[in-house]
Structure 1
């Protein structure tokens, strides 16, 4: 999560410094439009959206295939209501140049193993199936109620190569398509950045429930290693380890990106009354009890 927080910041900085952007980094409140995300202000195709859904084509849902040598069977996801090229909104007929790299059944890698120049149209398959299952109000409540970062990460990321893909993977597969459904090239879809705006938002809100502990708390479980899902096996990450952005931006220590109001950052998430009300209504309906922070 610290890596993605820095990644989003580097992207926002590039928008400001290289493109003259004067706004803020938005986030996508997944559950608000979970029953029809394709009609949300993000994907409805109007001039202020991030482009529309892909044109509808009859298709089956995405199948995620574990990499060679990794245990677990294929994962069948529900189909969205698009699947074709994006032809509406600001990113209509956008050209994607990198990938595919792989990760979904039947996807052939692009030139040079997916790393070569490969211009093609942007595709999306936005729909309610994955959104309702993995990115709903219960998901948000459960995340905010987890007692430790280990629990938070396991719920957020899911169990590797099982149907429990968590809201992190779930949000990517709500967007889906090409490159949105590709683990390694998904940042090529502009919607990637608002999904990770929400990921950062929820982590920040969780941290503020116990700041004396959580601003320095790193995962010691499945997702706590310096390789993803500890594959290949590696040591646990430490606060003084370096996040290396390569050519994309400067490097930074993990400890310097743990708080949104210190180090290179100066931002916080202000919650609207509407969001708090929506959350409370679902909280009462679900009968959940958060208890006390850190309990």
Structure 2
């Protein structure tokens, strides 16, 4: 299907047009590995497995982060809140070799034109999974330490909302106006595109400002499309397209994914197909490759991609050290996954085991979910 590759193709085109500010130098923070053995991991559950009170508690914590002052405003003048900090992080890391700052030292990094399969961009290559694993871990830490979140970061298993699993996308409990994230945007003519810009993507069933839910009155400040120097305040938009979930988040795609022989094979299906699912089915702000973090659904979508990776890893312990590169890619287990000023750099191999069984990594969490056989 055309939309499977569309998000990546559009990302490439936009990155060649819009510039982001230079990456600040990486934080001088010591690494603090989790306890070897990870005896008390956080438990991350699928959204519909949470109680109603847990769901409300989670969205309350997100709103708390949206009301706390930024820690990094000196680097990004437009950011106002702690939540904005994470939007700015994603904008800054969605970069091109030779155009944006290097992930580690803030210096321009020599390179040819953008190639989504052959450099260190956090979407186009093998780093998409370990980098986002680290980023959503940082977000979970902020919710826990600064806003009192009592549960692990939930995930949205869009497979359960597909026709293949007997689901109904628009009736997903994720979009409940009281105990979820709210629903679709108001119907607009000529909807579609990134962050309110027409001419890109696919028109869905909404396209305007969301009309209900805990984030209905939120004001977005950053973007669209990587713009960090122009104050463009606006509402949160969504443009639901259920067909994306039905046609991609199904057994025909997920079964072979979870039977991948190598990380390179697994990552290619994630990058070219399943990464698109959450972005393109929700639409609106989620269709902006730079600023999709503006919609809190971003983190539940990426947590699900991470859940699938963890499920695949757990089938064979050797997979927790498999970071095999795709053809032409120069990165491997020792590649640095940096959040810049947001945290100390870690290598891909230090982010592979979610339970840090060798005591050399950072992570201490695990997922609860459906058995792998349900995807086939």
Normalising by the smaller structure, the TM-score range is 0.7 to 0.9
Higher relative contact order (CA 8 A, sep 6+): 2
> Aligned match of 1:206 in 312, 326, 345?
312
CA contact (8 A) 1:37 1:43 kept: no
Tell me the CA shift for residue 34 of structure 1. Answer: 2.4
RMSD (Å), alpha carbons: 2.4
> Aligned match of 1:32 in 160, 170, 180?
160
CA contact (8 A) 2:192 2:200 kept: no
CA contact (8 A) 1:83 1:123 kept: yes
TM (normalized to structure 1)? 0.73
TM (normalized to structure 2)? 0.58
Q: 1:276 to 1:239 in 2, by over 3 A?
A: closer
Please tell me whether residue 97 in structure 1 is matched to residue 239 in structure 2: no
Aligned residues: 237
**1:231 maps to which residue?**
none
> Aligned match of 1:256 in 339, 344, 350?
350
> Aligned match of 2:266 in 152, 155, 158?
152
Q: 1:126 to 1:198 in 2, by over 3 A?
A: same
**2:364 maps to which residue?**
266
Tell me the CA shift for residue 118 of structure 1. Answer: 2.1
5+ long unaligned stretches in structure 1: 64-73, 103-112, 159-165, 226-235, 284-295
> What secondary structure does 1:268 align onto?
strand
Give the Cα separation in 2 of the matches to 1:242 and 1:220.
14
Please tell me whether residue 177 in structure 1 is matched to residue 284 in structure 2: yes
**1:218 maps to which residue?**
323
Tell me the CA shift for residue 60 of structure 1. Answer: 5.4
CA contact (8 A) 1:126 1:175 kept: yes
Q: Greater shift after overlay, 120-129 or 29-38?
A: 29-38
> What secondary structure does 1:24 align onto?
coil
Which contiguous aligned blocks of 4+ residues in structure 1 show a shift greater than 4 angstroms?
A: 60-63
Give the Cα separation in 1 of the matches to 2:324 and 2:232.
37
Give the Cα separation in 2 of the matches to 1:76 and 1:195.
19
Q: 1:116 to 1:60 in 2, by over 3 A?
A: closer
Q: 1:76 to 1:99 in 2, by over 3 A?
A: closer
